[in-house]
């Protein structure tokens, strides 16, 4: 019985995550919060606490992937042929996504974040989205999600977003108030 094709990448990522976890022990030991009692000082929160938590979640998911890939059987020969044909069909949306993403990044400084994100969502829904999604729904969904993203980043996280040039700057300032 051959193993699943997910086993080798999962083992590689598990080794990489282990290396990253070991590196967290070399972070500077500046405590951001601790108690005054000696018994609880060993549980102080440092700069390495959050990366260690994230890496523990990654460990858990990778171990789960290794277990599932060991238990999974490989498909028979005729299913492999069907998989190869489907993977060739899936190449066109991937290329379209990369092209749309490059256009999105290129136009970011010209159009500004709000307008560019709305356009990106709309074009993405039209080219890669589902067939049932009509133009109106795609436009409405991309508009709502883009406005929510702009409000969260500019209002609550106080991140400076690209505002664009010329008339697009006025639109961005209106949306970001």
Q: Are residues 121 and 170 in the same domain?
A: yes
Angstrom CA distances, 99 to 104, 109, 110, 128, stand at: 9, 17, 17, 12
Average pLDDT over residues 18-38: 73
Q: Half-sphere exposure (CA, 13 Å, Cβ side) for 22?
A: 5
Q: Are residues 54 and 96 in the same domain?
A: no
Q: Are residues 169 and 105 in the same domain?
A: yes
In a domain, 82, yes or no: no
Q: Are residues 109 and 137 in the same domain?
A: yes
In a domain, 145, yes or no: yes
Which one is predicted more confidently, 37 or 160?
A: 160
Q: Are residues 70 and 101 in the same domain?
A: no
pTM score, whole prediction: 0.49
Evaluate if residue 41 carries a pLDDT over 80: no
Last residue of a domain, one of 41, 74, 107: 74
115, 117, 134: which is closest to 125 by C-alpha? 134
**Could you report the per-residue pLDDT of 70-111, keeping only the tens digit for each?**
887 655 554 555 555 555 566 777 788 888 889 888 888 888
Q: What is the pLDDT of residue 18?
A: 92
- When pLDDT is cut at 50, 70 and 90, the band that residue 60 belongs to is very high
Last residue of a domain, one of 74, 105, 122: 74
Domain that holds residue 50: 7-74
In a domain, 47, yes or no: yes
Count the domains in the chain.
Answer: 2
């Amino acid at each position: 019985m051959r193993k699943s094709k997910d086993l080798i990448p999962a083992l590689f990522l598990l080794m990489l995550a282990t290396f990253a976890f070991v590196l967290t022990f070399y972070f500077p030991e500046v405590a951001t919060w601790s108690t005054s009692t000696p018994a609880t000082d060993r549980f102080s929160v440092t700069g390495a606490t959050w990366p260690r938590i994230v890496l523990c979640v990654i460990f858990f998911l990778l171990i789960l992937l290794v277990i599932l890939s060991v238990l999974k059987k490989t498909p028979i020969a005729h299913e492999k042929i069907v998989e190869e044909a489907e993977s060739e069909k899936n190449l066109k949306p991937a290329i379209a996504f990369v092209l749309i993403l490059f256009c999105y990044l290129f136009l970011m400084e010209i159009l500004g974040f709000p307008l560019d994100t709305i356009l990106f969502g709309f074009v993405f829904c039209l080219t890669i989205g589902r067939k049932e999604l009509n133009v109106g729904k795609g436009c409405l969904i991309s508009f709502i999600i883009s406005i929510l993203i702009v409000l969260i980043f500019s209002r609550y996280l106080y991140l400076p977003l690209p505002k664009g040039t010329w008339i697009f700057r006025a639109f961005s300032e209106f949306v970001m108030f």
